[in-house]
Structure 1
């Protein structure tokens, strides 16, 4: 099964599970013919939207567990996090319609009762729901519309688990206070299952996963620092992990000056090299403290994750486009081209100035040694943005080519849109989409 088919299957499964309450309502509910009043219709819609939203909310926690078969379905953990974000936004929309329809049930005849669903009161069963929705709005807005470092992103997501727990309390307590109506037989059973799935997945990610997961232990063998970059080379303490060039890892550095929080970084070494290499740019508090690392420090490695590798696709005519620190997943792949000369690769590496071309000597040397690898360094401060004509001049016709991109999000999206307008199919464009890497 190819990646596109798997992705369709994954989304189909998510949507079927999410809208399963609608099926239960149609089969085991009162029946559409019995919904004879405006109040009954809005009440049923409010309950349905809330339960569908809660199901989606629970599934977002399942997607966050980093379970391998979920990654395989969507073509990499970076793609799983994209699905996670979309589903989280959908969950918020459905949950917002839950109180809206319940309020409409009482308007205009009973304004006071309508206010009970929107304003804090003595009913904590309702208050839990209000707090949960407000918290979700704030946290999802922060996630979708602000740029933040990985550790802060992870911290905010831990509060989403609390909002889900409050929503669960709301579901089970509200039935004993304001509302006594079940919209279908087995409502509690379904709500219980959704609650267990959501809370179970969240608890696994927060408390259990790190203890169960057998992280490989590596030791830092050498460190190199230049300008605003750290190159960290590691060797296994015991058994090495199996990985492919282009994938990424979660690394937890054991040094007294650094937090024990795991952070994601792209692999810069060739597949299954004895020495594992990452190149990290100084971008914030955590990366600035990497200067405290020492040779011999232990590193716990989780992964690998991702499917960003040229050998995963049948077409051997490829175009690689990198910008800035986005070159890192390509460095190991470029080395591997010496063992896979059947691949014809044209590469553009865009950087702001000549001092920002990470791995320039390696790329140049391999281009000299391998006639099927063309390398074009692109100084954007001199030449401007990479345009379609520039890619065409390097690679020729775009037909039957695979395109790989990694770099800042704005850069990638600009190139992707240009490629699509030039007739390149979406299935032939591959990006490293984990924006924290």
Structure 2
């Protein structure tokens, strides 16, 4: 059995077993209210508590899940789980209040005001309000208007939501404190999730950075708004980094501690140094050119399964769009690549082709075919429609395809690959959607 299959089977088993336990606890607890509204509200509360623990595990960056499934796909799951938490967080108190209002024969608003005077209930309502704020800034329209740094900062509110949710659960959840077994179950569930979060989001990164002591070795402008940062440190070969992966980068003293950005390695790791290349879009990336040589670097990772290890065959197609060329360039340099390689690099103009000289040299060394596709997208210039993509690469269905670029471009390419019936296991995409 493959590692992805084992990981997916473990996830499915975890979800099914826990849902069975939750329904058993709900039934054992007996009627939680005097009407259907109250019963539904209490059941939704159990779902909500479990969904929150799942969210914690999805953002804990568990190495097994990252290697088997990929951080990008896990982040997509986190997004959908987040909307599930949102609806449960809205519906749970709504049904509970409706249940009490119907039982007491008073208005919804009057019941809401009465219940909100109880501290545990008030904390739960505050948690719901914070969830609404986080979801509001995660909607695609709002997300486009926020910098990555601002979006990430707002998502830190989720840790406050966790604390408020646990307190609310302790004091208000009758199904949580029904007996010693239910208490052991819920505390065990939360302990497992929070321990995973603390271990892989704090303890492991702190130990790793204390060991490797990374510093800025050089800052090299690549173009007007693109810069490469070379990083050195101790025993970097022990990081186990691979071409195509990314780190979460912090630069203490240069940016606030909470500002973190996912930047891919733009060169294959050699055990002595790492290189990231970024376009000046957000606050952190725009300020990289001002980093001082010798500045401390805090890196969390490596993450991602966008590596040659995922390849099914020997023929490869690498597709890059804009600054998405960075992991593609590192893959092209990977000694493990081999085989027949084609590279498609989509940019508006030749001047926007970052790292083009390096790509050309690597293509010559490896005997790869490099095509730079320029020009604005228009009805007459759409290189990634199914027909045009097939014309560029006639044997595309026999190749592993690696795609990295802006979300609209990557989505369009993935649609074309599905239309061309490229087998799903041969498609590898990096979308750079990252949970905080």
Quickly name the TM-score band, shorter chain normalised. 0.7 to 0.9
Q: Given that residues 218 and 298 in structure 1 are in contact (C-alpha distance below 8 angstroms), is that contact kept between their aligned partners in structure 2?
A: yes
2 CA distance for matches of 1:131 and 1:214?
Answer: 36
1:236 alignment counterpart? 233
Matched, 1:64 2:59: yes
1:417 counterpart (396, 415, 418): 415
Are 2:79 and 1:85 aligned? yes
TM-score, normalization by structure 1: 0.85
The 1:207/1:244 distance shift into structure 2, 3 A limit, reads closer
**CA shift for structure 1 position 42:** 3.4
List aligned pairs for 1:181-196, cutoff 5 A.
Answer: 186-196=181-191
Deviation larger for 192-201 or 403-412: 192-201
Distance verdict in 2 for CA 1:191–1:113, change over 3 Å: farther
Match of 1:315 in 2: 313
Q: In the alignment, which residue of structure 2 is the partner of 1:350?
A: 346
TM-score by length of 2: 0.85
Once the two structures are TM-superposed, the CA of residue 245 in structure 1 deviates from its matched residue by 0.7
SS of match in other structure, 2:397: coil
Q: 1:259 aligns with which of 220, 234, 256?
A: 256
Deviation of 1:99 (Å): 2.1
Which residues of 2 match residues 28-427 of structure 1 at below 5 A?
28-30=28-30, 39-73=34-68, 75-106=69-100, 108=102, 110-112=104-106, 114-115=108-109, 118-119=112-113, 121-145=116-140, 146-147=142-143, 148-174=146-172, 186-197=181-192, 200=195, 208=203, 210-214=205-209, 216-225=212-221, 226-240=223-237, 241-254=239-252, 256-260=253-257, 261-272=259-270, 274-336=272-334, 340-341=337-338, 343-371=339-367, 373-381=368-376, 384-386=381-383, 387-427=385-425
Change (3 A) 1:195 1:3: closer
Contact kept, 8 Å, 2:35 with 2:103, in 1: the verdict is no
Alignment CA distance shift 1:430-1:290 (3 Å): same
- Deviation string, structure 1 residues 48-98 (Cα, Å, up to 9, x no partner): 21111111112212222223123234x222222222222222222233332
8 Å Cα contact 1:51-1:191 kept in structure 2: no
Structure 1 pair 98–18 and aligned structure 2 pair: CA distance change class (3 A): farther
Please report how far the alpha carbon of residue 138 of structure 1 lies from its aligned counterpart in structure 2 after TM superposition.
1.6
Deviation string, structure 1 residues 239-294 (Cα, Å, up to 9, x no partner):
5433211111122324x443344432100112435332111110122222222212
- Aligned-pair CA distance for 1:308: 0.8
1:125/1:234 CA distance change after superposition, 3 Å: closer
1:282 to 1:109, Cα distance in 2 relative to 1, 3 A:
same
Whether the 8 Å contact between 2:397 and 2:423 is mirrored in structure 1 is no
Instruction: Classify 1:190/1:335 alpha carbon distance in 2 versus 1 (closer, same or farther; 3 Å).
Output: closer
Partner SS state of residue 118, structure 1: helix
Name the SS for the 1:298 alignment partner. coil
Segment drifting more, 343-352 vs 14-23: 14-23
Q: Is the 8 A contact 2:177 2:183 kept in 1?
A: no
Structure 1 Cα separation of the partners of residues 365 and 90 of structure 2: 59
1:162, distance to aligned residue in structure 2 (A): 1.1
Q: Which runs of 5+ in 1 are unaligned?
A: none
Q: Contact 1:54 / 1:194 at 8 angstroms: preserved in 2?
A: no
Which deviates more, 272-281 or 112-121?
112-121
Secondary structure at the residue paired with 2:382? coil
Given that 2:321 and 2:404 are in contact with CA atoms closer than 8 Å, whether structure 1 keeps it comes out as yes
Aligned residues of 2:331 and 2:337 also touching (Cα < 8 A): no
| Structure-2 separation of matches of 1:428 and 1:323 | 19
Further displaced range: 420-429 or 281-290: 420-429
Q: Is the contact between residue 217 and residue 301 of structure 1 (CA under 8 Å) also seen in structure 2? A: no
| 1:264 aligned counterpart, secondary structure | strand
- Aligned-pair RMSD on alpha carbons? 3.1
Task: Please report how far the alpha carbon of residue 319 of structure 1 lies from its aligned counterpart in structure 2 after TM superposition.
Answer: 1.6
Q: Equivalents in 1 of 2:128, 2:64: separation in Å?
A: 31
- CA distance in structure 1 between the aligned counterparts of 2:193 and 2:3, rounded to whole angstroms: 27
The whole-number CA distance in structure 2 between the counterparts of 1:234 and 1:183 is 51
**Distance of 1:82 and 1:60 partners within structure 2:** 12
Aligned length: 423
Call closer, same or farther: CA 1:405–1:116 in 2, change over 3 Å. Answer: farther
Q: Distance in 2 between matches of 1:421 and 1:138?
A: 38
